[in-house]
Structure 1
Amino acid sequence: MEEFYLVSIFLFILFLFLGTGVWVGLALFGVAYIGLEMFTTRPAGDAMLTRIWTGSSSWTLTALPLFIWMGEILFRSRLSQDMFRGLAPWMQGLPGGLVHVNIVGCTIFAAVSGSSAATLTTVGKMSIPELRKRGYPEYMIIGTLTGAATLGLMIPPSLTLIVYGVAVEQSISKLFMAGIIPGIVLAGLFMMYVAGWSLFRPAEVPKIADKMSLGAKLYESRFLIPIILLILVVIGSMYGGWATATEAASIGVIGSFLLAVAQGSMSKEAFIESLLGATRTSAMIAFILMGAIALTLAMGFTGLPRALAEYIDGLQLSKFSLLMALMFFYILLGMFLDGISSVVLTMAIVQPMVINAGIDLIWFGIFIVIVVEMAQITPPIGFNLFVMQGITKHDMGYIAKTAIPLFLIMVVMVFIMISFPELATWLPESMRPAR
């Protein structure tokens, strides 16, 4: 039972730090330092400095600030207005009408942002005023947007998948490919929910004012061409084996900059703001990652991950039972921490369990992202709830209630992934390695 004694101490110290308002990165450093000093004979300072430098100097990590910068540039462009103009003619004829713009818009922007918060803010900026103006119910506008924005965590380029890939030493490009099909399937399930709503409550669906001809729809679709081309270049370069994740991120930054310049929205002030925004976000994530590296080192020296893995292995849990336990664990953890923090905080312990159970690490990355997506819309710390509250000024409880159907759909998606693991493994196994 010694491993549970250590876990209890680590968790107590961690939540003590977090409860007093200490930054997540600093809390992780504190737990790591105390763990090394109390339970090992290794000099904490030297060991942590060496391991942090080795881990944080990874070339793979350079993709992270680049993808963040790409999203920041596009956030400050006219992309949101153009997306609504291009999508609305095609969505209004579907069961549920223009509510589908929330889901499809989030899916498209997720493919160039990597962040659920950026996806929610950008798509919300375009869709909320338009849907309200057309008379759509507020609970459908808020709920679908809050839930669908979580696709920013799964559909590449995903910041969470980059962090996970670095933590478990797996190919970022393969993880990106693994997220494409599950992301599209999840978006499809969200759209089915909207269609079901329109069938059960047809009186709440506003009537279409004017039906557009096919030619008019195609003409309006010209506004989608730039963003679709950018997605194809960024994702296609990785899938085709022409670029690594870092090189694709560089292409994305250049492409988004050119797109913003062509739209006339890249002023000097917008460029500086995009750079500062990317720097702030990247520094925050890097600090958390360095703290997680230090904590992983401390746990490694105490032998805790190995002991816990052996204990779990001794319980003879089936893969399904282990995955269910991890799903509930991450949902609970996500109520208090953001997705990236949840991943980096736990991988040192969870990875040996997953490997011992024979679970593919690429597949498990997508599983983790789906569960972390759920945590984005669960109170009290669901990050998307805070972002949506800032946009709409609605009560947090109201926003969480509107997102419950989307949360349940994500639970269904977990079981679909377990039943059909090929959804996440087929593309990575078929892709060519980048040079």
Structure 2
Amino acid sequence: MISTTTLLLAVLILLSLPVAAVLIFTGLALSDLYAFFPLIDALGEVTWSASTEFVLVAIPLFIMMGEILLRSGITDEMYESVNLWVGRVPGGLMHTNIFSCALFAATSGSSVATTATMGTVTIPNIKKFGYKPSLFLGTIAAGGTLGILIPPSINMILYGILAEASVSTLYLAALIPGLILGFLFSVVVLIACLVRPTWSGEPVPKSTLMAKVWGLKGIFIPVALFGLVVGSIYAGLATPTEAAALGVIGALGISFYKKRMSPKCLSEVFQATIRTTSLVMLIVLSAYFLNFVITNIGLTDILTEKVSSLRWDPVYVLLAIVGVYILLGCFMETLSLMIATTPIVVPIITALGFDPIWFGVLFMILLETALITPPIGMNLFIVQSVRGEGSFKDVIYGAVPFLLMMFFLIGLLIAFPDIALWLPSLITK
């Protein structure tokens, strides 16, 4: 049963079929092969109950908030403000890329949106200031992955639903690891530019203290929206979905106040939100049906029993799971990878005695590695498409040092789980 499922998923993915079609077809095939009665009869009820999950409403709202910030020009102001403070550090605008990605991730919740936005804003600076192309492009590809980890994260909402874990607790658990990862990325740039000063490009013009302080107004909006969304959750004033709605209202209010939101711009925001949401939700509903089939034919129980029968140390099993995810990440898109495997892996993780909240943070970092590992690394392709010229190898080589930092953080989380669990423990006390 396990080998059949794995083989079927692998073959369909290699045929380059749409992810939603792969998930639905696999569910139907498993139902016909192993179920006592045709589970397709439950397809309507499963998709309806899944689509009415209140927390899923947060997904289009977070997507819309990011689109508003992008199309109203607030993102450009944020980038310029960050550059005033970190642009003089060896590495210049590459540090600005990383910190700007972290700030935008804290409002958009999407790695793809973060990468595309920051790439559009900053890639022209490579030639303008003479940066090392590969390292510069690597900061955008890797920095964009922070959209998965730093709250509010769309992927964490989906993980919370599939793993039956608290989304607000996941957000809290991911905050410190997300900040650590952004810092590690910046350390990579700093070391590289100290060893090879020519990679730093031309020095950024020096700014006065008054200019830096005044420039904070560009950072204030993303930080204020992050505080509004995340703060309302932990103050007990709003659920994640209600907090997302507050974020959209806040972003719209600021855009209209600054006279950046025309009817045409608003129409573009709605269209982009609908396109992205439709893509995500079709995959989610298909995955719900596949998960329903997998549970009813007993595949999850079989896997758990087989892993338990190995009598391996739980840490060795965990390392094996990490290795499998790193390998799968080279060939699968992150959303489909997460949705297809979470209901199978999480029961194994909990049976081994690991905290599902802690694993959720670890899982997000593993998904981040998938975004910058060839041949299917989505962020690599986004950066290259925005760049529009040069060799794709530049993007791949530039992402490697940041990939190593992700592996380092994974090791830290396994050795010191409290990196993720300390903040949630303070709230629950």
> Aligning the two structures, in what range does the TM-score lie when normalised by the shorter sequence?
over 0.9
* 2:206 alignment partner, SS class: coil
Matching of residues 215-254 of structure 1 within 5 Å: 215-254=210-249
Which deviations, in whole Å up to 9, do the C-alpha atoms of 1:44-87 show, x marking residues without a partner?
22223222322332111111111111112112121232012211
1:68·1:114 contact (CA, 8 Å) conserved in 2?
Answer: yes
* TM-score between the two structures when normalised by the length of structure 1: 0.94
Which residue of the partner structure matches residue 358 of structure 2?
363
Could you tell me which of 416, 419, 423 is aligned with 2:415?
419
Percentage identity across paired residues of the two chains: 35
| Corresponding residue for residue 94 of structure 2 | 99
What's the CA shift for 1:397?
Answer: 2.7
| Aligned mates of 1:377, 1:177 — CA distance in 2 | 25
- Do the aligned residues in 2 keep the contact of 1:102 with 1:145 (CA within 8 Å)? yes
Distance 2:159 2:257 in 1: 35
User: Which of 4, 9, 12 matches 1:14?
Assistant: 9
Aligned to 2:121: 126
Q: 2:55 is matched with which residue?
A: 60
Distance 1:343 1:194 in 2: 30
Q: Distance in 1 between matches of 2:320 and 2:267?
A: 45
* Matches of 2:205 and 2:350, distance apart in 1: 56
CA separation in 1, counterparts of 2:199 and 2:151?
34
Q: Tell me which of 32, 38, 47 is aligned to 1:37.
A: 32
| DSSP-derived class of the 1:431 partner | helix
Once the two structures are superposed, the pairs formed by residues 146-225 of structure 1 within 5 Å of their partners are: 146-206=141-201, 208=203, 210-225=205-220
RMSD of aligned alpha carbons? 1.7
The CA distance in 2 between the partners of 1:392 and 1:321, in whole Å, is 41
How many angstroms does 1:247 deviate by?
Answer: 0.8
Q: Residues of 2 paired with 1:176 and 1:132: CA distance?
A: 38
Q: Which moved more, 1:258-267 or 1:356-365?
A: 258-267
Aligned residue identity for 2:93? L
Matched, 1:339 2:342: no
From 391, 395, 402, give the equivalent of 2:398.
402
Corresponding residue for residue 69 of structure 1: 64
- 1-structure distance, mates of 2:290, 2:87: 51
Distance between the aligned counterparts of 1:123 and 1:20, measured in 2? 32
- Structure 2: which amino acid aligns with 1:189? L
Q: Which amino acid aligns with 1:392?
A: R
**What is the distance in 2 between the residues matched to 1:65 and 1:209?**
38
Give how far 1:387 is off. Answer: 0.5
- The two structures have a TM-score, normalised by structure 2, of 0.95
127-136 or 396-405, which deviates more: 127-136
Which residue of 2 is the match for residue 3 of structure 1?
A: none
Instruction: State the SS of the aligned residue for 1:380.
Output: coil
Answer whether contact 1:376 1:384 (CA < 8 A) is retained: yes
The answer (yes or no) to whether the contact 2:106–2:222 under 8 Å persists in 1 is no
Q: What does residue range 258-407 of structure 1 map to in structure 2 within 5 Å?
A: 258-393=253-388, 394-407=390-403
Do 2:149 and 2:364's aligned partners in 1 also have CA atoms closer than 8 Å? Answer: yes
Regions of 4+ moved over 4 Å:
none
Per-residue CA deviations over 1:2-24 (Å, capped at 9, x if unaligned) read xxxx1221222223333333211
Q: Which AA in structure 2 matches 1:429? A: S
Letter aligned with residue 209 of structure 2: L
Distance 2:279 2:196 in 1: 44
User: Residue type matched to 2:30 in 1?
Assistant: G
What is the Cα deviation at residue 180 of structure 1? 0.8
In the aligned structure 2, how far is the partner of 1:31 from the partner of 1:429?
39
Cα distance, 1:320 vs structure 2: 2.1
The amino acid that maps onto 2:234 is Y
Deviates more, 1:305-314 or 1:221-230: 221-230
Matching residue's letter, 1:403? A
SS of alignment partner, residue 89 of structure 2: coil
- Asked if 1 retains the 8 angstrom alpha-carbon contact of 2:91 and 2:199, the reply is no
Q: What is the distance in 2 between the residues matched to 1:219 and 1:345?
A: 47
Q: Are 2:118 and 1:112 aligned?
A: no
- What letter matches 1:30 in structure 2? F
Query: Which ranges in structure 2 are unaligned for 5 or more consecutive residues?
Result: none
Q: Do the aligned partners of residues 204 and 25 (structure 1) sit closer, same or farther apart at CA in structure 2, a change above 3 Å counting?
A: closer
CA distance in 2, matches of 1:406, 1:194: 9
Matches of 1:318 and 1:56, distance apart in 2 = 39
In 2, the alpha carbon distance for the partners of 1:122 and 1:348 equals: 32
Q: Measure, in 2, the Cα distance between the counterparts of 1:223 and 1:349.
A: 44
Q: Do the aligned residues in 1 keep the contact of 2:87 with 2:204 (CA within 8 Å)?
A: no
2:177 touches 2:419 (CA, 8 Å); kept in 1? yes
Distance 2:58 2:180 in 1: 26
Please give the alpha-carbon distance, in whole angstroms, between the structure 2 residues aligned to 1:432 and 1:243. Answer: 17
User: What amino acid does structure 2 have at the position aligned with 1:411?
Assistant: F
Note the C-alpha offset of 1:157. 1.1
For residues 375-400 of structure 1, the C-alpha deviation after alignment (integer angstroms, 9 at most, x for no partner) is: 10111111101111111124333311
Deviation at 1:110, TM superposition (A): 0.4
* Partner secondary structure for residue 291 of structure 2: helix
The number of residues matched between the two structures is 428
Aligned letter for 2:369? M
- Residues 352-407 of structure 1: CA deviation (Å, up to 9, x unaligned): 11011111111111101001100101111111011111111243333111100011
- Deviates further, 117-126 or 160-169: 117-126
Task: Tell me the amino acid that sits aligned with residue 396 of structure 2.
Answer: A
Q: Is the 8 A contact 2:98 2:185 kept in 1?
A: yes
